[in-house]
Chain A
Amino acid sequence: MQVLKLTINGKKHELLVDEHEMLSKVIREKVGLTGTKIGCEQGSCGACTVLVNKEPVLSCITPAMRFDGAEITTIEGVSKNGELHRLQEKFVEKGAIQCGFCTPGMVMTALDFVNKNPNPSVHEIQDALSGNVCRCTGYKKIIEAVAEYAQEVKGEKLKVKSPETTKGTVGVPRPYIEATKKVQGIADYADDHKFKDALHVKFVKSIYPHANILRIDASEALAMQGVRYVATGKELPITFGVLPLSQDETAMAIDKTRYAGEIVAAVAADTEEIAAHACKHIKVKYEPLKEFLTIDDSLNDIGTAEKIHDTTKFNNNIHKKAELRFGDQQQGLKEAEVALKMDFEMIGINHGFTEPHASTAFWDENGLTMISATQVTHYLHRALAKTMEVPLGRVRVIKPYLGGGFGGKGDPFAHEIIVAHIARKTGKPVRVKLSREEVFLNNHGRHPTKMTIQLGASKDGFLKVLDADVAIDGGAYGSFGVVTSYYNGVLLQAPYKLNNFGFRTFRVYTNKPQCGAMRGHGAVNTRFAVESMIDEIAHKIKMDPVEMRMKNFLEPNSLTVGQYRITSNGIKQAIKTVTEQADWKNKHGKMPHGHGFGVACGFFISGSALPIIWNELPQSVVHLKLDFDGRVLITSGANDIGQGSDTMLAIIVAEVLGISMDKTFVIAADTLITPVDLGSYSSRVTFMAGNAAKDAAENLRKEISNAIAKKKNIAAEELHFSENRIFSNDKSVDLSWDEAIEILTANRGAVNVSGKYISPKLGGDFKGAGAGLSPSYSFSSCVAEVKVDTETGHVKIVNIWGAHDCGKAINPLAVEGQLEGSWHMGMGQVMTESMDYYNGLLINNNFLDYKIPTSLDTPPIHTNIIESIDPEGPFGAKETGEGAIHAVLPAIANAVYDAVGIRITKLPIKADEVLRLLKEKSKKEIAI
């Protein structure tokens, strides 16, 4: 230990620190300024950026002792006298903040950059921010915020109007209600919550992909000073999993381990360092088993080897087979004048959210409380009750601010169950924070996929048949995999009319980290294949691929072949918008070699019509409480994971009641306080929780109307609610909101009302009919422009035009953010992202080698919101969080085809592969 002197945000500190302690840790743990975030601990994400002597420094890879005597500015030191810095205001205004986890680092980097470069170009801003990873925004709004700030610094007056922040109207673009908190670094995420006397947990992880565990010797670890508990698998024998169908996981491996990285033991100690050190002294004796690492290995009969799970039906590692057929595919193939059969292969990818998982658990007279970075408090609640063997009423789950999910925080996780268990055993609060490496090993990301697709059409471009034969690599456990298996197929039955359609999906277990749900769940890879093949067929029949798609789109208010009810449908407007904007007619097929344009479409569910755990609870309930102070408290179990659902709830309630946003207050995702909402998955929250909020607000409005009607002797129907007033047409009643509340609460006190959403009964009565059923569907289209460097094989995305039919944008700023983030994420999967394994070991488990596109790799994104006004969505709204991703991947690949004539069938598009294909192609052409 040494004494370290630092001046942080103008305040002097003398601190006792370990020589090897990182500056980030000193700032967060010793000084208590948790605005500085830890995203990777490898200097690859920028979330920990602080200014040291006015220079940007990555505090997570900088030993604090290097900076003895330095002056440090953290995010908490940026705003002055209770006023946001102008750059922070810009971040808020422009919607540059979604989950907010990257925001502090982003602000620090940008602030330093603009100070030193007062007149930057957009390219220079992109370059400056390229060491800061943002997974939510696609960087567009961040770059805009920085650019506008720089213009202001230069003294240029901007004609930009600040978004209206008080008027509660649906359709007005507005920042998230918590944006000012996030931009100052004072929003607390899971790892920012501190507890007295808490223990820290670290894990011993399997080094073999598949092995029997013969012995675990923790005696040395247990004897260490500061070690309080060592847990092993046998203590937690109850299985769990997000789906009732595949409860195939235990919190720690018992008897055998199924992937390299699986938790085998957990150490709780006074500090993280002690726990980590003790883990190294736990001796585990393994007996390696034959491992299964590929789809093909796991599809085949395994002979005398041991299966990954002994619960699977046959002598192979197939977890689930899903198959549905509609119409007559043989007949369809006969009718098709052009039929293609193509193979595709996609590597698995990870969500890449910036906030690593973190949880704290403690037990008291109320049972278990868990604060965790989760997208689904409700399912975690159930899983904890099950595994802890306590009644549901003895568990409380709280989601604090959450640094992105994208599906990756949508399961109950082993680490959550382990800390709950150790907290009970030790009687102390127990914390855990996963390292970035552990986040990758935890995975639950997009399934690696291999498929063979047959698509046939008539010469005049009408689709006749689609048959998809798909195999997906599930990794070691079930997760959402059964749903993924169906979604790979069923979500191909729109946006095009298909009479003869079928699919078969095999999901296999392999000895790798498990795969699960990720933005665009299950449908992204098969959608890529089908959209690529439509492009190919259009090329073969010499038809513009836009025209061909136009011929095949399903109409609004129609049924798909598998009996999905399509209601609102803005697909035609979407494709029209993007192709016009991109000048498609003059560009596609008309550019010089190496330069091309591609188009594609997509569609997605707006919430699953069926709950995961079958019961008759509404899918969402929202409570409102209105008391004497006139403020409406909105409580909802919906998890705001950075997508802006808290803001959406407040907007809807304010709209119905005609009040300003400052008269609303949202408490969400605390299972003790808030009514059940199933959580943030399947793009359900705006549709379902939004409808529940609308229902609740309408009920509250009735209560207020009735009270006033009674008091003022007027018919309740005559009353209008607008701009914080309640009035009748003839103004015989004209009350301020506060006056109205006085009438409402007289002799009664606070009024509580409830609203709910229950999906209508939908779908056919065949087995599997429930998969992909949704009360509404979103539609989208993208055009991509690329340049292919024929010397290096490098594909550069020049422009993305996107349009998404979200029904109605409740908050257009948030919708744009979701769309831009989706397209950016899609670009990542199609261009650079892949989880790479070597003999079952994940080798790129960090943000340097797992390549999320940086701000410098992100092209201009042109965003269009299409509003088809859904008949059942709240104010016509439907999903926007996931659907947009589908079209962008094939649009880019189709643009590559247009540029150089290469059909991409493997993702990501590697320069290596492009160069090889270019070479093969030119050889063939020479041969001809």
Chain B
Amino acid sequence: MEFNIINPKTKSELLKTIRKEKHFRFGAGCTDLLMELKKNSDEGLTVINLSQVKDAQFNGVKKSAKGIRLGAMLTAHQIVMNEDIKNNFPVLHEAALSLASTQIRQVATIGGNLCTASPSGDMACALVTLEADCEILGANGKARTIPITDFFTGVRKTALKKNEVLYGIFIPSKKKKVKNITSRFIKIGARRSMECSVVSLAYHIQTDETGKIIHAGVAIGASAPTIRFAKSACGFLIGKKFKNISQREKEEFAGKVLSYASPITDIRATAWYRKEVLFNISKAIFE
């Protein structure tokens, strides 16, 4: 495994490096990248190390009335420790906490988790549920924003163009009149730690003071080539009382979630199992 490494220290140095370098990969936490390079060493490759770029928008958290903006370089550990996220977006907190191990969470970033574009990305799945937007920075310093569902274009493929870098993620605040939030990340895997999801289900359901669902986000991971937002399942819930959903409705909801799944059989599980479990855990979220 051989590569050069460049450590830009500021945003402008970073942009300059991007413009200058021909054959490069970005390294955020490097946990995935290094595994990949160890397997398939790519001669003459430059790794642009993003971890030393000092830039508040890249590394920090910014709250506003509209929502919360997370710098792409926030680590899973920082996400776990963030009280705002824990209180307002538990699904993301839980997803970050379920990621690999203490040491990996220390360096693994939310931006890396998105850009790897693994169908089983944990934080990515939570962010899809939260209907986040991705802020992308071009080499010219101009940013563009796209919905996260447009960010993932296939297995390990994203909408990032060459010379673009993921700059931040914006999560919209809860809707008006929301009283309660039921927000969880369910990860199915053989072990309780150091695990890649066999199936994951993220949901963020907002209810008003009467318990009526006024907004719902549901996403599934490791069940299709990309993380999927289960739109029809979300729509199905609107207007229903969270606590009064009948058994038949639960199953109908689970069926709708399942309609977004097109899993494969691989080393971790069979397609049959993924579907079966997805259905079971989906119908169980109301209990």
- Contacts from A to B (Cβ < 8 Å): 18-20, 41-44, 46, 49, 55-58, 61-63, 65-66, 68, 109, 113, 127-132, 273, 277, 791-794, 831-832, 836, 843-844, 847-849, 851, 853-857, 910-912, 915-916, 919
Contact = CB atoms under 8 A, between A and B. Distances in A.
A130 B194 contact: yes
A848 B194 contact: yes
B34 A65 contact: no
B104 interface: yes
A857 B192 CA distance: 6
A252 B276 CA distance: 47
Contacts of A836: 267
Contacts of A131: 100-104, 193-194
Contacts of A58: 103-104, 107
A406 to B, nearest CB: 20
A172 B171 CA distance: 60
B51 interface: yes
B5, B30, B270: most-surrounded residue (chain A CB, <10 A): B5
Contacts of A44: 194
Contacts of B5: 19-20, 63, 65-66
Given A61-B35, A130-B193, A915 B103 contact: no
A19 B276 CA distance: 47
Given A792-B280, A912-B273, A57 B193 contact: no
B159 interface: no
Interface residues of B, number: 43
Contact of A851 (B38, B47, B190): B190
Contacts of A794: 188
Contacts of B30: 61-63, 66
Nearest to B107: A57
Given A792-B281, A851-B195, A854-B192, 18 more contacts: A18-B2, A43-B103, A43-B104, A46-B101, A56-B103, A62-B107, A65-B7, A68-B52, A129-B102, A130-B101, A273-B2, A791-B280, A847-B194, A854-B193, A854-B194, A912-B272, A916-B272, A919-B276
Contact of B35 (A19, A42, A132, A919): A42
Contacts of B286: none
A855 B193 CA distance: 8
Interface string B37-72: 010000000010101100000000000000000000
Contact of A55 (B106, B280, B281): B106
B280 to A, nearest CB: 4
A791 B284 contact: yes
A836 to B, nearest CB: 6
Name A's interface SS: loop
A57 B31 CA distance: 11
21 contacts: A20-B1, A20-B4, A41-B38, A43-B31, A43-B35, A46-B103, A56-B102, A62-B107, A63-B27, A66-B49, A109-B103, A130-B102, A130-B192, A130-B194, A794-B188, A855-B193, A856-B192, A857-B193, A911-B190, A911-B269, A912-B272
A911 B273 CA distance: 8
A66 B77 CA distance: 18
B107 A915 contact: no
Contacts of A43: 31, 34-35, 103-104
A49 B281 contact: no
A57 B34 CA distance: 14
Q: Of residues B7, B51, B100, B194, which shows the largest number of chain A Cβ atoms within 10 Å of its Cβ?
A: B194
Nearest to A58: B103
B196 interface: yes
Could you say which of B51, B103, B192 has the most chain A C-beta atoms within 10 Å of its C-beta? B103
Contacts of A109: 102-103
B66 to A, nearest CB: 32
Nearest to A128: B102
Given A63-B47, A66-B7, A56 B106 contact: yes
A17 B144 CA distance: 38
A157 B3 CA distance: 53
A454 B276 CA distance: 35
Interface in B54-109: 77, 100-104, 106-107
Q: Which of A130, A831, A853, A919 is most buried by chain B, counting CB atoms within 10 A of its CB? A: A130
Nearest to B37: A20
B191 interface: yes
B2 to A, nearest CB: 5
B18 to A, nearest CB: 18
Contact of A20 (B2, B102, B273): B2
Nearest to B282: A791
B281 A791 contact: yes
Contact of B277 (A19, A49, A793, A843): A793
Contacts of B284: 791
A832 B280 contact: no
A277 B2 CA distance: 10
Nearest to A794: B188
Contact of B193 (A62, A843, A856): A856
Nearest to B274: A912
Among A55, A113, A847, the one with the most B-chain Cβ atoms within 10 Å of its Cβ is A55
Contact of B191 (A57, A68, A113, A851): A851
B277 A791 contact: yes
Contacts of B35: 42-43, 61
Contacts of B102: 56, 109, 113, 127-131
A18 B47 CA distance: 13
A547 B9 CA distance: 72
Contacts of A49: 103
Nearest to B77: A55
A68 B51 CA distance: 11
Nearest to B105: A131
A54 to B, nearest CB: 11
A664 B273 CA distance: 59
Nearest to B188: A792
A857 B191 contact: yes
A854 B193 CA distance: 7
A44 B196 CA distance: 12
A127 B105 CA distance: 12
Contacts of B49: 63, 65-66
Contacts of A916: 272-273
A61 B31 contact: yes
A18 B4 CA distance: 8
B225 to A, nearest CB: 20
Nearest to B50: A66
A517 B242 CA distance: 56
Contacts of A57: 103, 106-107
A896 B30 CA distance: 41
Across the A-B interface, give the 8 residue pairs with the lowest CB-CB distance, nearest first. Answer: A131-B101, A130-B193, A791-B280, A912-B273, A19-B5, A856-B192, A854-B193, A856-B193
A67 to B, nearest CB: 9
Contact of A66 (B52, B103, B270, B277): B52
B190 A831 contact: yes
Contacts of A912: 269-270, 272-273
Nearest to B34: A61
Nearest to B193: A130
Contacts of B51: 66
Nearest to A913: B273
Given A61-B34, A912-B269, A127 B193 contact: yes
B191 A915 contact: no
A915 B276 contact: yes
B40 to A, nearest CB: 12
Contacts of A832: 190-191
Given A854-B194, A857-B193, A19 B3 contact: yes
Contacts of A792: 188, 277, 280-281
Interface in B238-287: 267, 269-270, 272-273, 276-277, 280-281, 284
B267 A849 contact: yes
B194 A915 contact: no
B111 to A, nearest CB: 16
A316 B4 CA distance: 52
B47 to A, nearest CB: 7
